[in-house]
Structure 1
């Protein structure tokens, strides 16, 4: 819309001048109204509100004078958006405040235009321009506010990840740990367990982090997680319930926050062991016990495989049956009848297989060392086979 030449220009300028003279008075009433009816704006200092009011008012006066509305890209609201996001002012409240401001300016224009007898067609034209200004500016404010929210969230995520990285790797001072704990809602007086988790299937680390946080907070437990080096890492108050989640996780022992880096090292070893066995769920040392060492000591595992299981391979399929019976014998508490019942064979068949095992390996199944070393070898054998799900719960 174009400006008004000729005789209409002088009355319009008188209206603009009269509006400018009342800028401070209208702004004062608007500020009082906002702080009373929009609680989040109580966090915004009055001088900042006055600066923004001045910007909106002068832009509106230009629209009234010229009859043209700025393009969306001409609205520079990024500084305002960042400030409102930092102060916790929701987008809805920001838009509500802006519309109240433009409504006050529109009402002021209508009042001054009536007092000075401004041409009705011109009044309609400029009122339409002011409404268009509201629409265009609202869209721009919403866009930059959302951009500021995303930037703020990314910045918060980086700060949280930096804190967790230092906490879990033991590079923070006690003062930094206590300061971060206060920021992120951790209680330094309580023990925490480090956790390290990786997703299974098509779920990515970011989605897994959100799922773990949701499950933890739903149960009222304090936790702090972040995606670090491709896995989800952090601290939890208790062993989480991972039912229904496609995840493998290692959990270190409970410890105070200043020593949680040691718990994190243990969590990493437990995760490595659980993945090596193809397990799903969350595992601590009580779940995996000595099997963690099987993964960590490949040379010893090779030695015990050579001693106890590879001699059976020369027997072909019968060697596999011997290994199956030996495994059942150890895992079933050395009850031959139970092994026979489970394998659907006669007890004498099981006895023969066990005796043949002793002949091939030159060992005695009654010897304590044999039981320990053979259990180790059998666990190492699992690492050579396709992953299997555990028989018991892994939560």
Structure 2
């Protein structure tokens, strides 16, 4: 149509006038961003200039053609990755983009009016620029979130790789120091390795977050990850399990260079605590020699044969003997205390203890008997955890 042909000439003049001001407008926009959006001070000027050029040329195409690109045609993945890597929040990125589009829209209105552009065309292209801002904002937000998720997954994998190497003793001194600096660990401090498994319906990743938040709330540094369905890592101090459904083993304090030794100990503590059906956080001072009971099943069988299985031939009375012997050791070998707890006469307790000695051919006064019997009773507990 003739009207359209006549309108196309001044439209190109408007576009040419806008292009002439691209650099000046970009410099003003850069100054505004660095003044009012602090996170953008970390983005190099030359990079912002390239992004500004991309936005400006896209907007000019919309002004010229009167059509807005489809969301999938906005190639903003590189920008999103850069902003995420530099710690620029999504809100700041959208704020900067809208400032840029607003500046371009204002420039178009000013030049369109000055060049005498058809008012209907000005309204139509202004509407297109508004639509461009909306469509691009949605796409930028989606790509930014995807980049955040991908970045978080990458960081989680990198953290897991560092902890796996640290806990298994496969890292060099340089790798330990660089990883410690990256994750906020102090190589001069001593850390305790921890290995924990969740109970109930708690997932390992949820347990990791809970233990980490407990540590931070109490001002205790920690670095944790999920390794092989367990939460593993290093902590500065014993974590408070509170109401958490968790069983955890805690190794002794060591330097980061040898924390793999602490992790091996933590694994043994966890194995022992689970074998006894315990809940909470346990180290060697809690479990003591009972850790060895779990680790030495052959010896446990020998002691069970020597001290407890001979009682089985006595039936129910044998069970009463075992109960009295157990209480006798638990009470510090005080017969009257055993009788009081069991609500029986002291002579009844003495008879049961004497019968135990007859059946096993041992003496409850002998130190070796006390040690070995305690070991056998702990081994029996493994078969019937509380």
Deviation at 1:326, TM superposition (A): 0.5
Deviation at 1:176, TM superposition (A): 1.4
Write out per-residue CA displacement over residues 184-205 of structure 1, whole angstroms, 9 at most, x where no aligned residue. Answer: 1111111111100010111111
TM-score (structure 1 length as normaliser): 0.96
Equivalent in the alignment of 1:79: 78
Equivalent in the alignment of 1:324: 323
Aligned partners of 2:189, 2:342: CA distance in 1, in Å? 49
Equivalent in the alignment of 2:284: 285
Equivalent in the alignment of 1:338: 337
Write out per-residue CA displacement over residues 26-74 of structure 1, whole angstroms, 9 at most, x where no aligned residue. Answer: 1110011101111110110011000000000011011111111111111
Aligned partners of 2:344, 2:128: CA distance in 1, in Å? 92
Tell me the secondary structure at the aligned position of residue 198 of structure 1: strand
Equivalent in the alignment of 1:55: 54
Aligned partners of 2:102, 2:128: CA distance in 1, in Å? 12
Equivalent in the alignment of 2:264: 265
Deviation at 1:253, TM superposition (A): 0.5
Aligned partners of 2:220, 2:331: CA distance in 1, in Å? 38
Equivalent in the alignment of 1:222: 221
Structure 1 ranges of 4+ moved more than 4 A: none
Instruction: Give 1:1-395 correspondences, 5 Å limit.
Output: 5-385=4-384, 387-388=385-386
Cα RMSD over matched residues?
Answer: 0.9
TM-score (structure 2 length as normaliser): 0.98
Aligned partners of 2:370, 2:62: CA distance in 1, in Å? 90
Aligned partners of 2:112, 2:8: CA distance in 1, in Å? 13
Deviation at 1:6, TM superposition (A): 2.0
Write out per-residue CA displacement over residues 213-241 of structure 1, whole angstroms, 9 at most, x where no aligned residue. Answer: 00001111111111111111111111111
Any unmatched runs of 5+ in structure 1? 389-395
Tell me the secondary structure at the aligned position of residue 187 of structure 2: coil
Aligned partners of 2:153, 2:106: CA distance in 1, in Å? 41
Aligned partners of 2:32, 2:220: CA distance in 1, in Å? 41
Aligned partners of 2:128, 2:180: CA distance in 1, in Å? 52
Aligned partners of 1:57, 1:196: CA distance in 2, in Å? 54
Write out per-residue CA displacement over residues 293-326 of structure 1, whole angstroms, 9 at most, x where no aligned residue. Answer: 0000000000000000011111111111111111
Aligned partners of 2:341, 2:9: CA distance in 1, in Å? 104
Deviation at 1:117, TM superposition (A): 1.3
Aligned partners of 1:224, 1:123: CA distance in 2, in Å? 58
Any unmatched runs of 5+ in structure 2? none
Aligned partners of 2:315, 2:138: CA distance in 1, in Å? 75
Deviation at 1:5, TM superposition (A): 3.1
Aligned partners of 2:49, 2:306: CA distance in 1, in Å? 84
Equivalent in the alignment of 1:393: none
